[in-house]
Amino acid sequence: MLTSCSLTPIIQLPTCSSPALPIIQLPVRLRNPPVPITIKITLHRKTSVRGLALYSRRRFDRRNKVKTMTHQKPTKSIQKNLTQGPINRQILTFFLPLVIGAFFQQLYNTVDASVVGQFAGTEALAAVGGSSGMITLFLFTFFINLATGATVVISQHFGAAETDKVDDALHTAYAFSILAGLFLGIIMLFLTDPFLRLLQTPENLMEASALYVRTLMVGLIFTLTYNMGAGILRAIGDSRRPLYILIAATAINIILDLFFVAFLHMGVFGVGIATDISQGISALLVSWLLIRKTPGLRLSLRRLHLNPQTLARILRIGLPTAIAGSMFTISNMILQASLNQKGVNAMAAWTAYARLDAIWWMIDASFSASITTFIGQNFGAAKPDRIKKASRNVLLIELAFALVLTGLLLIFTPSLMLLFTRDAEVIHLAEDICRCIAPFYAIYAFSEVLGSILRAENKVLITTLINLLGICGFRAIWLLVIVPGGSVRQLFSCMPISWAIISASITIYYLLQQPGILHRLEGRAK
């Protein structure tokens, strides 16, 4: 351990014949001084004070290789050190921008569909949704979840105050997102038609659907770069500025949608171009923040690199999470295929209720991101007590949100359905779906909160396997073997049952693993 001592270097100025003035002590502050430093300077009559200041500052900086930050306005800290301070307030202030951002993301997607449907016709609307929507959703979900790996790694290093490792992870993650965006975008230009045919896209929609997917693939690099950059900012506790960027991108997307589709009549191509441009602006803004406006993080395009060890660690956490998230999309595709056999009313009922169901998933995903960052920082800082308290508190808070939302949906779903349809049968089916799903949101909260905690502590593989088997595997067996051709209520029963399976499994795994994890952290802290 370093002990405090006094260091008194003397700066010798050019001598002159004039008598010396009294000794003046000038305090000099280093970024991280190992010892306190006092500089004693002897002034002579012919020495200007301003010249002395410049001379001494330059000489001191040259010796100590420190850039002096004089006349710099104090800036409000963007980072949030989640390793100290009130736990609940920190989590909720981090959570709120995320859930608002999720709302704007939903608005982002809804506006695309609305503008196309209003100004380009039904076929164009089907081309933007349907099979092409499934392909783009699968890819975007995959890489958004993949960015979780970078968030966890950077948050752990940030919590441990390992600045060099934070910098290395930052440049590795950014380089990977750019390369992945370029590579996958080019590959998908050639694989679009085979994927659309695999999903049995109607021939009359093939051309428009392919055009829409290919247009989005051109801008895939922007989408991946923004999501990676936003994940990096959240890792250091900054959830507000990604929200501001998303709001700006949503506004730009709406304006461009209207311009390209309503004014220039460019159809699905116009919607794709609008999305690419708005995503490009998002990528530029988040990159600019990391390059110029984020203390503690300094992205340099010249220093982009791929550290194999760092990339392996990011992928070890992010890849299983991405696969699990993508499997959710695949299981929903299986459910949708079964539901399509029940006719137009069943499809319309689920389409309408899904807009209300999305509220829960926005809340759930925001809590997941919040607890992942919080646990990641405190795991890196070796603070088991804060991890224990936060785990309990976040679970209770999300359970409270789940119960409140359940009550509201059970009461108001019939009335809210009137916003989408006046068909009594459709409304009745939507009520059945609501009663089948909504009461079990609280059960799913266990799997999401506890699973996010384990991922932030590097326990990824088992939670991924549980999700794969419990969600995708079980639902496939349920829909294709147990209740093939069943009623709408029977089909949707696969959701709460699968949630119960994975929640019970992850809870048991958490109870077995968490005491050992906390015990090891206590050892590190000592």
Residue 52 has a pLDDT of: 44
DSSP assignment, residue 13? P
Is residue 166 within 8 Å of residue 296, measured between CB atoms?
yes
Tokens of 458: 């590097």
Which one, of 332, 419, 292, lies nearest residue 133 by Cα?
A: 332
Measure the N-to-C terminal CA separation of the chain; round to a whole number of Å: 15
Residue 440 has a pLDDT of: 96
Distances (CA, A) of 313 to 10, 326, 461: 48, 20, 13
Is residue 109 within 8 Å of residue 137, measured between CB atoms?
no
Write phi, then psi, for 89 (nearest 5 degrees): -65, -40
Bridge partner list, 39: 26
- Say if residue 462 is exposed, middle or buried (CB neighbours under 10 Å; 0-12, 13-18, 19+): middle
Burial 469-490 (b: 16+ CB within 10 A, else e): ebbbbbbeebbeeebeebebeb
Residue 62 has a pLDDT of: 45
**Beta pairing, strands 38-41 & 24-27:** antiparallel
pLDDT averaged over 10-residue windows placed end to end, the chain, 526 residues: 40 42 45 47 45 45 39 47 84 87 76 73 69 76 84 90 91 93 91 83 83 91 91 88 90 91 88 92 94 85 92 90 80 79 78 83 89 92 92 94 95 85 86 94 95 91 89 89 88 93 96 93 79
Could you tell me the residue ranges of all domains in the chain?
1-54, 93-306, 319-526
CA dihedral 367, 378, 456, 311 (to 10 degrees): 130
CA separation for the pair 286, 290 (Å, rounded)? 6
CA separation for the pair 356, 373 (Å, rounded)? 27
Residue that is written with structure tokens 């608002």 in the block: 100
pTM of the model: 0.73
Q: From the DSSP assignment, how many helices (H) and strands (E) are in the chain?
A: 18, 2
CA separation for the pair 297, 165 (Å, rounded)? 11
- Say if residue 418 is exposed, middle or buried (CB neighbours under 10 Å; 0-12, 13-18, 19+): exposed
- Say if residue 163 is exposed, middle or buried (CB neighbours under 10 Å; 0-12, 13-18, 19+): middle
- Residues 6 or more apart whose Cβ sits within 8 Å of residue 517: 457, 459
CA separation for the pair 380, 433 (Å, rounded)? 43
CA separation for the pair 418, 432 (Å, rounded)? 15
CA separation for the pair 402, 447 (Å, rounded)? 13
Is residue 275 within 8 Å of residue 283, measured between CB atoms?
no
Is residue 423 within 8 Å of residue 352, measured between CB atoms?
no
Residue 126 has a pLDDT of: 67
